[in-house]
Amino acid sequence: MKCRTMKKVLTKSLCMLAVFLLATACGKEDDVSQTNNNEDSKTSYVYLKKYGVEIIKVSIQKEEFVYSLSVFKGGNNTAFEGNVKISAWTEEELTAYNKNKGTSYVSIASDLYSVTPERQTFTKEQKSLNFDVKLIPEKLLKVIGENTKAEYVIPLRLESEDVEVKANRQDLLLYISLEAPMLKFAFYEKTVFVQEESTSFNVGTVLNYKIDGKASGSQWDFTSELVVPENASELVTTYNQSNKTDYELLPSGAYDLTEKVHYNINDTKAETTVVIDRNKMEVKYYLLPLKLSTPSSNVVMCDNGILYCLVSRSYNNPIIAFSAPDPTVIHTDDGYFYLYGTEDTRNMPIYRSKDMVSWEYMGTAFTNETRPIWEGEHSLWAPEIRHFDGRYVLYYSWAKWGDEWNSNVGVAVSDSPTGPFIDKGCVIDAQDMGVQNSIDQFFYEDGGKKYMFWGSFRGIYVTELTDDGLRVKMNADGTPVLKKRICGNYFEATNIYKKGEYYYLFASIGSCCEGAKSSYTTVVGRSKNVLGPYLNKTGGDMLYDKYEVVLKGNSVWAGPGHNSIIQVDDDGVEWLIYHGYKKLEADNGRVVLLDRLHWTDDGWPYVKDLAPSVSSLIPVFR
């Protein structure tokens, strides 16, 4: 028990000692005259009552600030006379102090303060003397406002030619805490997607100001400007090095900073607007560094912090925030892209866009009156749009969930991409072709022949179509001229793309439709023949369920797949349009996403990070 009690006492004593040391780590105040050691009994000396680092709060509300500095006598004999003075440290002395203490203090210029009187004389009777350190806050504001990140001090030293100065009690650093209104950015990084010809974004600011320690609103009606720093190019270089990016400085003609930040009396925050001219930008990533400057009130300081605006002609995923699964896209002579999707919107939704980023709803491919009716009521899934022979040809899956032998491929035609589409009936009948779950068709024309690829988790097959593309091409005996299985049972949602000497077969594996739990994944194989075999990197055949991954889910997105025919922009960049679930908004259904298709050096396609992007640079169309 005694040992345990002693441990408690010792622990408590150590804690009290730690608190004491912490409390005395900065400014110190000692009454050395009360000490009675042998050294003090033999000497007479002078010392500063406060020494070390002393924080002084200088209010901009006052015309003059005065700090009273006390000098005391000490030792056994204090009945002496002598001159004392307060002098400033040299820059070399402050540099040495900073190096020793690990600080970075900056000395206030001597013309910004005064010590009065310059020197004083102790009489035998006097025990202490006072010196006044005087500051003009408004003058101080101008200096500190030029570098608000610096830590300013007035380094002072007690000196005497007549009497000893107590060692370690002769130096005082007055650390200046200026209580002035400080204008700062509300944030120091902002992402700006420029999609309109003239894109505006807000820049928020806050005014930090205290009166007698309490937060206060502005006492002035004033404005401040946004400017690009003179060293903007250097700032961009430093930012790129720190963040491993490759931004360029936004060209000066691409932005307008004429609107100022305006504060009314009592305001604590305010915004201004920056305008970006899209036509003065290329499709690349830019950086626009901004700082606050030139407040119209001479008592307001602007923080030196830099706001980095990350500016680009970019888009956010999803590009269509409504459920439009299994998208198919065509670029038409009128300059528009038209997108069609599975009928989560009844009768098959149609969207239109000039840039594949901003889409407008155009209606549906069918109406209740023109909707296909063969073999009774089904669902319209997985459209595939083409244009040949002067008309738009829309293939569709006429499907019944769970009835795979009664799920087939149909076709409709129209003179316009927005319809009305006139149904032409069945193209591929599951029972006639002997292929269970005959859906997810894909049309491909090669070497003067029209092919139809189709199938869903019961093998992927290919057949040849008639010249008008409306029926399967048959032999005289009524059998198809071509029916070939090219993929195993892992796959659905086939898509063929030719690049160089290879045909690339894109497909989807996994579960398509389980919301945030969907495991849909986009995969690929390639062949030098449109009819296969389609192989992975190591020669594994898709017929035996081998593949390479192009795109899969991540922490944000689930089930990315069933991509449209690949689109190419005016810079030759290939783009993948596909559907997926946003995990936190899975109830919105399978929304439409867009991503750039990259290629490895040995010719394999992939999406960056093998996952849907949140945002990216837009496709280029001139």
Residue 215's region, left for phi above 0, alpha for psi from -120 to 50, else beta, is: beta
Q: Which residue in 303, 326, 384, 429 is the catalytic one? A: 326
CA-based torsion, 482, 486, 489, 491: positive or negative: negative
Find, among 451, 584, 572, the residue nearest to 505 by Cα.
451
CB 606, CB 550: distance < 8 Å: yes
CA distance 403 to 381: 14
Q: Which pair of tokens denotes residue 46?
A: 């002078």
| CA–CA distance, 440 with 120 (Å, rounded to integer) | 98
CB 136 within 8 A of CB 111: no
Beta strands in 323-464 (DSSP E): 328-331, 337-340, 349-353, 360-364, 379-388, 391-399, 408-414, 422-428, 442-446, 449-454, 460-464
Asked if 317 contacts 614 with a C-beta cutoff of 8 angstroms, the reply is yes
Per-residue three-class SS string for 226-263 = EECCCCHHHHHHHHHHHHCCCCEECCHHHEECCCCEEE
Short-list 609, 396, 395, 607, CA closest to 522? 607
The Cα angle at residue 142 between residues 141 and 144, in degrees rounded to 5: 65
Q: How far apart are CA 360 and CA 382, in angstroms?
A: 20
Q: Please list, in sequence order, all residues whose beta carbon lies within 8 angstroms of the beta carbon of residue 175, skipping any fewer than 6 positions away.
A: 53, 54, 55, 56, 105, 151, 152, 153
**Residues 6+ positions from 104 with CB-CB distance below 8 Å:** 98, 150, 151
d(CA 417, CA 33): 98
Contact 511, 486 (CB under 8 A): no
- 492 belongs to the catalytic site: yes
SS3 308: strand
Q: Classify the phi-psi angles of 14: left when phi > 0, otherwise alpha if psi is within -120 to 50, otherwise beta.
A: alpha
Q: Which residues face 215 on adjacent strands? A: 210
Q: Which residues pair with 277 in a beta bridge?
A: 198
Q: Kindly name the residue from 40, 303, 492, 541 that is annotated as catalytic.
A: 492
What is the Rg, in whole angstroms, of the alpha carbon atoms belonging to the chain? 39
Beta strand 27-29 with 50-59: parallel, antiparallel or unpaired? antiparallel
81 is catalytic: no
User: Which positions are catalytic?
Assistant: 326, 492
